[in-house]
Amino acid sequence: MTGWLVFCSLPHIDGIKLTYAKIKVDGSLDLKDSYTGALLGYKGATSHVLAKDGRKVLGIRLRQGAVVDGFALVTEKK
C-alpha cells in the first residue's frame, strides 16, 4: 500500500518517488516497515512530501496542460 509520495519540481513536476508501507493486522499502515521505490522522472530543485501521516493513499489527481503543474493525493479520512 502506498504510504506517502515525494515529488520533485522546478518549476513544474519533474519526478515522483513513492514509498510503500506494510499493512498491519488492524488495517493501518506500518510506517516503520516501508521501502521507497525508484525515482520516476528527474530530481528537481525542490522536493515536497505528501501524506506522510499514516493515511492510506487511495488515488492521485493531476492537473496538466503541456506539463504536469498540479498533483494531489486522494487519501482516506483521518
The angle formed by the CA atoms of residues 57, 13 and 33, to the nearest 5 degrees, is: 35
pLDDT at residue number 1: 64
- Mean pLDDT, range 8-21, rounded to an integer: 84
pLDDT of residue 35: 92
For residue 17, what is its C-alpha cell? 518517488
Say what the pTM is: 0.72
Q: What is the pLDDT of residues 49-74, one digit of tens each?
A: 888 888 888 888 888 888 877 888 88
Q: Where are the domains of the chain?
A: 2-75
Whole-angstrom Cα distance, residue 44 to residue 55?
A: 26
Model confidence at 25, pLDDT cuts 50, 70, 90, reads: very high
